[in-house]
C-alpha cells in the first residue's frame, strides 16, 4: 500500500499553503518555451508535467540572486549599521527535480565550514522541499553519472512519484515533509512508478583525473573557443554558489548586497595589479570543471554537480559538464 494524492488534490493543497501565507515556489511556464521555478501566487500556475526540468534551479530560494547583508546610514563622517534580520516566512518548494533537491545538502557544506553563513541557513531551515521524481529525461541529463538518479531522495522532505492517471505516490522523507501532507493522502494499492533514466553516462573519476593531470592541456582552449563567457552555466546550475559582495550606494538604498557571480567572467579573478591568473576563457572553463570534480570533492567529499545538465542545456553553444565529459572520455580511452 502507498500514500497517494491526486493532481487536483495536490493543487488544492498548494493553494492552501499559498493562502496560509507560505511562500510557495514551483515550476511554471513563464513563456511558451520557458519553464522556470517561480514564486507561485496561485496553484493554477504550478506545472507538474510536460517538461524535463526548469531552466533555472531551486538554489535561488535558499541563496537569492541578490541578498542584502546589512544596511548602513551615513551622516557626515559617522556610519551606522542596520541589521537585516526581518523574519522569513515559511517556504515550500514544490515539484523540484531530484537533481535540484540534492544540491542543497551539497551546498550546506561550503556555507557552514568554519564560518557559519546564517543568511543561507535560515532560508534553508524555513524551506520544505517536495520533489517530483523524473518520468522524463533528455539528452543532456546525466544524474546517474554523479551517483544520483530519477528517484533520488537526497535533499528532499517529500518525494512525489508519478503513478499515471494524474495520481502521485507521496513518500515523506522527513518530519517537516510529513507535516505538510498529514491527512491529505489516501491509501492505494497503486505502486507502479513511472520513471525515466538518462541515456548518457560517464565516470566522474575520469573527469577528476583528466582535469588534475591536464591543467595546461590545449583541450581547454579548444573546448572554450565558442564560449561567449555569459555565465549562464553557473547561474542556472543548482550547485554553483560563487558570489560577489557589492555596495548599493546611497542612491540605491545604502546596503551591502551579496550577488551571484561566476568564474566565467574575466574580472572574477583579476588582481588589482592587472594580473589575471585566468586570463583566457579556456582557463575559466577549466576552473569550473576543476572546482566541481576535484576541488570540492577534496575539500567537502562531494562532487559539486548533480547531473541536471542545465549548463549544457542552457548554453548558447552547448558547452557544459556533459560536453566536457563526452570529449574527455574518448581522449582518456585513446591514450590509455
Partner 1 sequence: MDNVYEPDLMEVISVRQHSPDVKSVSLKFLDPERARTFSFKVGQFGIFSAFGYGESTFNICSSSNWKDHIDFCFRKVGRVTEALWKIEERDMVGFRGPYGNGYPMDAWKGHDLIFLGGGIAMPPIRCAVWYALENRADYGEITIVYGARTVADLVYVDELDKWAQFDRVRVLRCVDPGGETSDWKGEIGFVPHVFERSRVKSKDPIVLVIGPPIMIKNTLPILDKMGVSPASVYTSIENRMKCGIGKCGRCNVGPIYVCKEGPVLTMQQLQGLPADY
Positions that interact with partner 1 (CB under 8 A): 69-70, 72, 74, 77-79, 81, 83, 85, 110-111, 113-119, 122, 215-216, 241-247, 249-250, 254, 256, 258, 261, 263, 268-273, 275, 277-278, 283, 287, 290-291, 294-295, 298-299
Integer Cα distance of 235 and 270 in angstroms:
20
Q: Which is nearer to partner 1, 125 or 138 (CB)?
A: 125
Q: Which is nearer to partner 1, 33 or 216 (CB)?
A: 216
CA distances from 224 to 78, 282, 285, 288 (A): 48, 5, 7, 12
Shortest reach from residue 214's CB to partner 1, in Å: 11
Q: Calculate helix-pair angle for 204-213, 281-290, nearest 10 degrees.
A: 130
Angle at 275 between CA 271 and CA 277, to 5 degrees: 85
**And the C-alpha cell for 105?**
545538502
CA distances from 215 to 12, 220, 222 (A): 53, 8, 13
Q: Which is nearer to partner 1, 151 or 295 (CB)?
A: 295
Integer Cα distance of 250 and 255 in angstroms:
8
Q: Which is nearer to partner 1, 118 or 186 (CB)?
A: 118
Q: Which is nearer to partner 1, 172 or 233 (CB)?
A: 233
Shortest reach from residue 94's CB to partner 1, in Å: 27
Residues 6+ apart with CB under 8 A from 128: 90, 91, 92, 93, 157, 158, 176, 177, 180
- 310 within 8 A of 141, measured Cβ to Cβ: no
Shortest reach from residue 105's CB to partner 1, in Å: 16
Shortest reach from residue 232's CB to partner 1, in Å: 17
Shortest reach from residue 287's CB to partner 1, in Å: 7
Tell me the three state secondary structure of residue 1.
coil
* Partners of 34 in beta bridges: 31
Shortest reach from residue 38's CB to partner 1, in Å: 26
Q: Which is nearer to partner 1, 53 or 291 (CB)?
A: 291
Shortest reach from residue 299's CB to partner 1, in Å: 6
Q: Which is nearer to partner 1, 158 or 211 (CB)?
A: 211
CA distances from 325 to 87, 188, 223, 293 (A): 43, 42, 11, 11
Amino acid at each position: 500500500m502507498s500514500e497517494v494524492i491526486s493532481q487536483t488534490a495536490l493543487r488544492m493543497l498548494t493553494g492552501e499553503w499559498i493562502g496560509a501565507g507560505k511562500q510557495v515556489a514551483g515550476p511554471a511556464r513563464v513563456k511558451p518555451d520557458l519553464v522556470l521555478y517561480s514564486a507561485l501566487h496561485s496553484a493554477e500556475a504550478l506545472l507538474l508535467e510536460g517538461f524535463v526540468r526548469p531552466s533555472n534551479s531551486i538554489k535561488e530560494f535558499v541563496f537569492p540572486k541578490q541578498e542584502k547583508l546589512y544596511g548602513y546610514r551615513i551622516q557626515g563622517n559617522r556610519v551606522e549599521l542596520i541589521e537585516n534580520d526581518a523574519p522569513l516566512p515559511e517556504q515550500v518548494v514544490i515539484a523540484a527535480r531530484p537533481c535540484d533537491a540534492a544540491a542543497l545538502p551539497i551546498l550546506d557544506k561550503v556555507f557552514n565550514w568554519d564560518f557559519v553563513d546564517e543568511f543561507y541557513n535560515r532560508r534553508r531551515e524555513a524551506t520544505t522541499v517536495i520533489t517530483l521524481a523524473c518520468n522524463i529525461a533528455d539528452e543532456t541529463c546525466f544524474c546517474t553519472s554523479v551517483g544520483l538518479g530519477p528517484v533520488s531522495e537526497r535533499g528532499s522532505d517529500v518525494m512525489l512519484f508519478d503513478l499515471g492517471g494524474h495520481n502521485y505516490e507521496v513518500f515523506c522523507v522527513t518530519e517537516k515533509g510529513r507535516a505538510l501532507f498529514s491527512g491529505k493522502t489516501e491509501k492505494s494499492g497503486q505502486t507502479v512508478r513511472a520513471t525515466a533514466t538518462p541515456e548518457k553516462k560517464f565516470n566522474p573519476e575520469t573527469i577528476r583525473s583528466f582535469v588534475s593531470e591536464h591543467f595546461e592541456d590545449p583541450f581547454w582552449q579548444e573546448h572554450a573557443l565558442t564560449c561567449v563567457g555569459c555565465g549562464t552555466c553557473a547561474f542556472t546550475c543548482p550547485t554553483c554558489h560563487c558570489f560577489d559582495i557589492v555596495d548599493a550606494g546611497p542612491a540605491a538604498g545604502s546596503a551591502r548586497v551579496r550577488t551571484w557571480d561566476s568564474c566565467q567572467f574575466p574580472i572574477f579573478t583579476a588582481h588589482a595589479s592587472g594580473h589575471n591568473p585566468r586570463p583566457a576563457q579556456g582557463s575559466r572553463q577549466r576552473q569550473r570543471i576543476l572546482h566541481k570534480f576535484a576541488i570540492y570533492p577534496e575539500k567537502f567529499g562531494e562532487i559539486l554537480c548533480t547531473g541536471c545538465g542545465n549548463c549544457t542545456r542552457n548554453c548558447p553553444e552547448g558547452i557544459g559538464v556533459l560536453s566536457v565529459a563526452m570529449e574527455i572520455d574518448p581522449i582518456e580511452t585513446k591514450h590509455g
